[in-house]
Structure 1
Amino acid sequence: MSLLELEGVRRHYRQKHTMFAKAGHSPVRAVDGVDFHVDESETVGLVGESGCGKSTLARIICGLEAPSEGAVRWDGAEVAAMRPADRARVLHREVQMVFQDPHASLDPRRSIGQSVAEGIETHRLLPGNRIAGRVQDLLAQVGLNPDHADRYPHEFSGGQLQRVGIARALAVEPRLLVCDEPVSALDISVRAQVLNLLNRLKRELGLSMVFIAHDLDVVQHMSDRIVTMYLGKVVEDGDCDDVYERTGHPYTRALLSAIPRKLAPGERLERVVLEGDPPSPIDPPAGCPFHTRCYAAIDRCATDVPVLRPIPGEPARHRASCHLADEISRSRVGQVQTVADPSF
């Protein structure tokens, strides 16, 4: 049984009337029929362009947004049907979020010790005389000096503040961490430190994670499984090695081909370049939502909606919503290839 399971989840937003535009009848389909799961002690990497629905899905998982349709289950029980106390325990303790911008996620008027202690105090996890010691232990666990608990956010660097955010999330002993672009706002020099910290904490505490990032090198380093989203839908889902080595969807292949690589003599890489912008989530195209930008599209793609299903010849866990998934997974387009003449 999965720790977290989403089935048929949709999150649609009504268009509001503003001074610049009238309200429309068609909703914004931020998340449009997503099946998604996370197993115990598993890290799922969630990738896709800006606006594909990743952050909205993360907010649904954390209970910050309610789905318009579909079910969210925790340990097999539907969250919406839980008693209020049980739902609060799941959404406020067992699931925690690490935000993209550590400066914006911390109250500048509170010391970092107060911020880390807030969850412990709110949920009454420890007697008052033991909270300060627990805060110091948490700061040490994420690689910060426990003696700095009385300092304020402006006295720390971005990397240090992200460690504070991680400590604050760990304070209530969660089972699932949702990390929404946790290193994109940090300097290159400190990204690896924060990523290694998250991996270490996952091993030591047995955490599950949903890891959202644009950098697919980072996702590969962190994840056991990869889920690719496009225009509010999951278009590929599979174990990390399967997705990276035998990609089944043209969109995932385009994302992977964009990773900077150092090619050896005799190697070449023909990158997959996507043309145009993603379609509007208000008026998605008929058929496959990706067919307007796909290098491999056929006539059927413009009319028939593909289903997320196992790729022939691949492990059952590796699925793609593409009519040509079998051919795509066996092709070398967008992958490093060896040429006979190194001077080519």
Structure 2
Amino acid sequence: MRTQVAIVGAGPAGLLLSHLLARGGVDSVVLETRSEQYVAARIRAGILEHSSVELLESAGLGARLRAEGDEHRGIHLQWPRERHHLDFVELTGRSVWVYGQTEVQKDLVAARRAGGQEIIYEVSDVALHDVDSDRPSVTYADRSGAVQRLDADVIAGCDGSFGPSRAAVPAARTFERVYPYSWLGILADVAPSTDELIYAWHPDGFALHSMRSATVSRLYLQVPNGTDPASWSDDRIWDALATRLGHGQNGWKLTPGPITDKSVLPMRSRVQTPMRHGNLFLAGDAAHIVPPTGAKGLNLAIADVALLSRALIARIRENDPRLADTYSETAQRRVWRCTHFSWWMTTMLHTSGDPFDAELQLSQLRWVASSRAGATGLAENYAGLPIFI
């Protein structure tokens, strides 16, 4: 089988890339090791930057987002006895949207199915070949176990941090930071107790009140690495959230509800460079991972794909390699800006147990909340820089 672009990975990065390529007249085939149901059900990011929303709308993917998503003007920053609202729209003219990755995935699957996109799920033994030549290919075993080969002009690795694509870049340099804490995250069938997200610093550890819809809340607690989610009972989780989020503070109340999902997410940053080798291009988690504190993971994948689709369309349709040749360098300018912002938010809000660190964090939080310059810096990074910078 042959196509112009072989895309490894059918998550949001891979499917959005196939969608944008198709709009530019470039064919692709998408390979995915998991089942369609598994990919659709993965609970991941829930915040879309202003630029991400603009891109999805321009690609014809914004109807359900606008109808069912929730636009937020900003966030709340909190520490004991104080809560401050940062209005991103007033500060930067840009908002964010609460719209879960599962919903983005549904929209992309529907759009690609309507476009006749070939997506091959549940493949195994995926291997990339001759990526530094003009005849790259991908081999894999289909559901029956038969070995297949997909020839292409270009391979796009959108298969995350554990897929084969990132390992196919020889002599890549990796920068990594593993944080000494994780998030215990829950989904609860209860209406959110807040209008916009609450980022809370507390001596017991960080807490975040987020949401997925008008009836489903998403909440997080800082916990030690290696925590077993089963060691936290539902009552213990709600008690810790109430304490850290300030239940009863200035009349605000946290409403508990049935917990439907409970998991632990380690916190780490990783950036691999370059994001291209020969005719292999990396996008999304295959090239970089950030802690979720800055809400950047999905948005970085969208930005990568926006750049990569333009580069591949220009190269394949117009025989113009300039954007492809500068793709890695261009993408990584935004990657490192978002990596720094994610690190900054993470280190400002997560406690270490060191009293000196705690006083520095509180000083930083007070400055952000009281300084227009500080608040604007946070708002500009959180709501998102333009994709094409």
Of Structure 1 and Structure 2, the greater helix share is in: 2
Of Structure 1 and Structure 2, the greater strand share is in: 2
TM-score range relative to shorter protein: under 0.3
Higher relative contact order (CA 8 A, sep 6+): 2
Q: TM-score, normalised by structure 1?
A: 0.28
Q: TM-score, normalised by structure 2?
A: 0.25
